[in-house]
Chains A and B, each alone.
Chain A
Amino acid sequence: MSLFESAQEGRGEAILPGPSGFIERAETTGPRRMKKRASSRLKESAIQAFFFANGILAVVVLIGIFGLLLTSAFPAFKEVPIGHFFTSTKWDPTSPVNAEFGILSMMASTLTVTLGALVIAIPIGLGVAAYLSDVAHWRVREIVKPIVEILAAIPSVVVGFLGIVLFGPVIARIFHQSNGLNAVNGSFLLAIMSLPTIISISEDSLNAVPRAYTEASLALGASRWQTLVRVKIPAALSGITASFMLGMGRAIGETMTVLMATGNARSFPHGLLSSIRTMTANIAIELGEVSYFTTHYYALFAIGLVLFLMTFFVNLIADLILHKYQEREQ
């Protein structure tokens, strides 16, 4: 048992007085005290129940949402064959000719912007994290880290607006396109939005690498760069990987930004410079006007279900990696 764990246990005893806790012993004098002890025990269990209920609530809500998605999505597959749903690139539920329900284009679009965002955000995020943990003066770090975290607080609609008025025209000029409403624009914005997650968690895990590793490496004559790249980053790799996965989860689920900046064309992405429509944007666009309990309505929930499963697995993987990392640290 590590020092940290035993310290924690000791603290736990002090806060939550059990049968042998010192608070009880201090108060056991006279019948009035006895009454007070009973009421305090009641309060204790009430508080415990309250916190337990809170913990359970999160689980209930998650299962509830999953159940709702499942039951609302399922009827869609009665009318749209599930194979067609996942392999057709045509989505046009309000078509006057023939309603089409195929989400392959949207899935490809979502993956395109997400991977694009990661390609941009991973090198920058890792670089900033390494700078903050290893290079920067502590005063600089004290200023830069909160600023990075404030990035996460920018509303997505503001980021989307930036994409339209700032990034769009610049991208159009750089790539000689007539407009900048495309996958690259979306990737840039999503990269900005996932940077805080990546930087914050990567930096934490770099800082968590035991000092002895660094000292040993430096003592053996390695330069600071070699220490960072060959010792610290490999040691913190699981935390860093988890930060990438969490950043990816943020990018997949983001709606407003891509809705505003990618143009929302329904076609299968022709390339990074074509206008695309992600799954999230499609749900946001169409759910407002869809007639309830129609195939279209169920199909939108089916998209939601696919999206839920995608982010769920990404987050699950991140969690597993982080967990493994913490186990090894002990």
Chain B
Amino acid sequence: MKIKFAILTGLIIVGLMLVPQLAQAQKRMIQVKGSDTMVNLAQILAEEFMNNNPQTAIAVLGGGSGTGISAIINGTCQIATHSREWKQSEINQAWKKGVKPRFFVIAVDGLSIIVNGSNLIDKLTKDQVGAIYRGEIKNWKVVGGPDMPISLYGRQSNSGTYVFLQEHVLGNKNYSADMKEMNGNAQIIESIMQDQAGIGYVGVGYVLDKQTGKARNGLKVLNISKDAKSEAYSPLDKANIDSGNYSIARALYEAVNGKPGGGVADFLRFEVGPEGQKIVEKEGFFTIGAAHQANNEKNFK
């Protein structure tokens, strides 16, 4: 008898424990996957959104823009975050699989070229950055620095930032084979802080110290000029991004399959709305302008 009673009690306890689980299953689940540059931003946006909408559960994963894009094509996520535009081959592949991607710009990034805080260099031209990453300039001496071999840090080929830089700064040429390929923005930052000869590229949200509003200690964010004649501008100033003076700014996107509905639409509305944009700014990225807003509106319909 005693044993039966114990088993019965056990079953009841297990049953009670399952009740909240079942309630969880009623929740709307949204899987967000992709850009490593955007993963922190998307995570905080998701947390804020879930605070006000407890019936929606949002899970955010990084892995790189390429990973997110292939995930939404394969149907393993509802929202793909990506820091570069889709390649034609990816759009073709999506259509072939019946996925009709729609793109929303949720923030703007001033892609930042960073060096160790002890580096004397303050600015580079866009062409110099390209030549450094193509492996044509191998020593800091050539661009006016000390006699020290340049140690290249970059992202892996699944990264949107890797592709963006290759297209817009390297002139669609190959990266130097000596570039160290890191897992994510955070790893590049850590490496540059330790490496006096290092140069790296990361999203602007990663270089900002949130307390002071300046670049993090031990890091220097280079000013970039369009060419040798023009002035160099910092990506930390929103005015330079808005005016287009900072030449390697880019949009940060989220892609969904078809017309967004339900929780996905609510979440996107929140992100591009005033509350979401406030978070974007707090995280060190820049708010979207009127043109992007208008485009987003079109894609909601």
Does B179 make an interface contact (CB < 8 A)?
Answer: yes
- Encoded as 1 (CB less than 8 Å from any B CB) or 0, chain A from 169 to 206 comes to 10010000011010000000000000000000000000
Within A276-308, the residues touching B (CB, 8 Å) are: 277, 285-286, 288-289, 291
Comparing A23-31, A87-95, A117-125, A314-322, the segment that makes contact with chain B is: A87-95
Does A116 make an interface contact (CB < 8 A)?
Answer: no
Comparing B120-128, B170-178, B203-211, the segment that makes contact with chain A is: B170-178
Known: A181-B191, A285-B156, A289-B66. A263 touches B197 (CB 8 A): no
- Encoded as 1 (CB less than 8 Å from any A CB) or 0, chain B from 153 to 187 comes to 00011100001001100001111111111110001
* Inter-subunit contact B151/A286 (CB<8 Å): no
Find B181's partner among A178, A285, A291 (CB 8 Å cutoff): A285
Known: A96-B166, A289-B64, A289-B70. A178 touches B173 (CB 8 A): no
Does B139 make an interface contact (CB < 8 A)?
Answer: no
Q: How far is the CB of A112 from chain B (nearest CB, A)?
A: 15
Chain B minimum-CB-distance residue to A96 = B172
* Inter-subunit contact A179/B156 (CB<8 Å): no
Rounded to whole angstroms, the CA-CA distance of A181 and B151 in the bound complex is: 11
Does A114 make an interface contact (CB < 8 A)?
Answer: no
Chain B minimum-CB-distance residue to A168 = B194
By size class, the interface of chain A is 20 to 34
Find B197's partner among A97, A178, A265, A277 (CB 8 Å cutoff): A178
Known: A96-B166, A178-B195, A291-B89. A275 touches B178 (CB 8 A): yes
Within B195-246, the residues touching A (CB, 8 Å) are: 195-198
Known: A179-B191, A179-B198, A291-B89. A97 touches B67 (CB 8 A): no
Rounded to whole angstroms, the CA-CA distance of A289 and B68 in the bound complex is: 8
> Which residues of the other chain, B, contact A266 by a CB distance below 8 angstroms?
177, 179, 181
Does A128 make an interface contact (CB < 8 A)?
Answer: no
Find A264's partner among B69, B156, B195, B197 (CB 8 Å cutoff): B156
Rounded to whole angstroms, the CA-CA distance of A181 and B200 in the bound complex is: 15
By size class, the interface of chain B is 35 or more
Rounded to whole angstroms, the CA-CA distance of A275 and B179 in the bound complex is: 8
Does A227 make an interface contact (CB < 8 A)?
Answer: no
* Inter-subunit contact B178/A179 (CB<8 Å): no
> Which residues of the other chain, B, contact A179 by a CB distance below 8 angstroms?
151, 180, 191, 194-195, 197-198
Known: A260-B183, A264-B181, A267-B178. A288 touches B63 (CB 8 A): yes
Q: How far is the CB of A7 from chain B (nearest CB, A)?
A: 42
* Inter-subunit contact A286/B158 (CB<8 Å): yes
11 pairs, A vs B, C-beta closer than 8 Å: A95-B174, A178-B149, A179-B197, A260-B183, A263-B181, A264-B181, A264-B182, A265-B179, A267-B176, A274-B178, A286-B158
A contact residues vs B (CB 8 Å cutoff): 90, 92-97, 105, 164, 168-169, 172, 178-179, 181, 259-260, 263-268, 274-275, 277, 285-286, 288-289, 291
Given contacts A94-B163, A169-B194, A289-B64, 11 further A-B contacts (CB under 8 A): A90-B177, A92-B174, A97-B172, A259-B183, A264-B182, A265-B152, A265-B178, A286-B156, A288-B63, A288-B70, A288-B158
B contact residues vs A (CB 8 Å cutoff): 63-64, 66-67, 69-70, 89-90, 93, 148-149, 151-152, 156-158, 163, 166-167, 172-183, 187, 190-191, 194-198
